[in-house]
Chain A
Amino acid sequence: MTPGQTSAILDVRGLDAFYGQAQSLFGVSLQIARGEAVALVGRNGAGKSTVMKAIMGLIDRRAQAMTFAGHDIRTRPTHHIARLGLGYVPEERRIFTDLTVAENLEVGRLPARGGRQIWTSTRLYEIFPNLGEMARRSAGHMSGGEQQMLSIARTLMGNPDAVLLDEPSEGLSPLIVEQMGQAIVEMKREGIAVLLSEQNLAFAATVAERALRIETGAITFDGPIEQLMDRIG
């Protein structure tokens, strides 16, 4: 084992994934260290979302090895993986529109594993003031940006050690994107590792140090994000 591996909170080796009969990921390998923010970039349909869904066990997948915080997660059900401390914020946000904002947060609440409850609804309302104002209102009445914030806040209620963030800036106005960036910085400050999928490389560079590029279901670049930006020019 290389030293890099031992410190990895999420370690994926040779991940294949399938939608029905069609294979959509081909031997994806990636490692993320504790507290590290990594950008997963690539064009539409390259497989960014699929990587995240496959790690969470939301689609059929197989891997040579896949551990989170030292636990083998290849055959664990989705809710086990989440309870190990791996949070997931889907691209479509998938907030519960029939529930209030506060209830959405309640669904995400999990007992803290280390004993220390870092994220509470009170703290999250401070970080996302809009959510606090709308706590008792139906989440279905929120704008796209507010839904994105709620989706992130809901995942943080589980006190995760790492978060898979799928396209957090998609379809949002520059102002909201900026707030999103601040939230990610806040998460890093609490020691949460982040895997962030992005089409917006400029935004990714503001929060991530390292980048992985995925093309047609396979990783084709793994290195400092500046290096990737230089190449693209």
Chain B
Amino acid sequence: MTLLVVKNLHKAFGGVAAARDISFEVERGELVALIGPNGAGKSTTFNIVGGQLAPDRGAVELDGVSIVHKPPRAIWRLGVGRTFQIAQTFVSMTATENVQMALQSAATATFGLWRSAHALKRDEAVALLDLVGLADSRDRSVGTLAYGDIKRVELAIALAGAPKLLLMDEPTAGMARGERGKLMQLIVSLARQRGVGVLFTEHDMDAVFAHASRVLVLVRGEIVARGTPAEVQADPLVRRMYLGTYVGARTAGGDGAGGGA
């Protein structure tokens, strides 16, 4: 059975349509990229699948079960882990505690009133942080981490629920170029090994074209093109509407500056 089926999704805010008739599918083990300019409806689509928003019309099914109008916490329990465009973490806690929290929730231990939580699921949390490359900073408060590392914490949190589907809103934002490739490779291997479907948005086109199995191009709330990375890159409509304006990484080497972080 197809992992995620999105059918004819529609959502408007105050008369302005943010998503129009959006339909797509995500299979197990594949990475589907959702790209498009700012305000194209990427985050709206994400928030509908994640349950943070209710659509005006349309269906979302995970493994054949409708998840539209379910609260995010129920959707998470059905196997959807996600990261947010503006990272959402528990800022007063350490990286490990953030992941422990998600693991404890997965084990439905969060109404426990007596036993200390400090060591509960700690080893598993440390293992997940190792996996996303954050072993060294695991006992630092997330409030003091660099943005790229906070995104890694979010990924570890999302993985704590052993998800079938990962929703990743700009997973490599705030990371140096070398790190981006490594993180994307990690996500690819996780998807392959664990049969996780991944839906992600990304402004770094290198990350998209190198790692996505399929690409959906969203402009003003509509999917205007879809296909393999090669097909989408070659699409003249896409070049005109979106990629033409993209100040890409391809030229960065030419400046000899190479970015700050």
Q: Hey, which bits of chain A sit against chain B, CB under 8 A?
A: 20-22, 26, 41-45, 144, 167, 170-171, 199-202, 213, 215-218, 220-221, 231-233
Contacts and interface: CB of A to CB of B under 8 A. Distances in A.
Given A144-B16, A231-B255, A199 B261 contact: no
B252 interface: yes
Contacts, number: 68
B50 to A, nearest CB: 21
A171 B244 contact: no
A231 B173 CA distance: 24
B39 to A, nearest CB: 4
Given A44-B203, A215-B260, A216-B260, A202 B245 contact: yes
A156 B68 CA distance: 46
Nearest to A24: B147
B247 A199 contact: yes
Contacts of B71: none
Nearest to B257: A220
A224 to B, nearest CB: 14
6 contacts: A41-B247, A43-B246, A215-B252, A215-B257, A218-B260, A231-B254
Most A CB atoms within 10 A — which of B39, B173, B176, B251?
Answer: B251
Contact of B39 (A20, A171, A213, A231): A171
A220 B244 contact: no
A25 B75 CA distance: 37
Contact of B259 (A170, A201, A216, A233): A216
A200 B261 contact: no
Given A21-B144, A45-B203, A170-B38, A215 B259 contact: yes
B80 to A, nearest CB: 25
Contact of A231 (B37, B251, B260): B251
A199 B245 contact: yes
B260 A26 contact: yes
Contacts of B204: 43
Given A44-B38, A171-B38, A200 B260 contact: no
A221 B255 CA distance: 7
Given A218-B259, A231-B254, A21 B38 contact: no
Contacts of B251: 231-233
A170 B39 contact: yes
B146 interface: yes
B259 A220 contact: yes
Contacts of A232: 247-248, 250-251
Contacts of B259: 215-216, 218, 220
Interface in B162-221: 170, 173-174, 176, 203-204
A20 B86 CA distance: 14
B247 A213 contact: yes
A22 B261 CA distance: 12
A231 B251 CA distance: 6
A154 B222 CA distance: 33
A26 B260 CA distance: 7
Nearest to A200: B245
B143 interface: yes
Contacts of B203: 43-45
Given A171-B38, A216-B261, A231-B254, A42 B247 contact: yes
A200 to B, nearest CB: 5
Contacts of A218: 257, 259-260
B253 to A, nearest CB: 10
Interface string B219-261: 0000000000000000000000000111110111011011111
A220 B260 CA distance: 9
A201 B247 contact: yes
Contact of A199 (B37, B176, B258): B37
Contacts of B143: 20-21
Given A171-B38, A218-B257, A218-B260, 11 more contacts: A22-B147, A26-B260, A26-B261, A43-B203, A43-B204, A44-B38, A171-B39, A199-B247, A213-B255, A216-B261, A221-B255
Contacts of A26: 260-261
A29 to B, nearest CB: 13
A202 B255 CA distance: 20
A7 B120 CA distance: 63
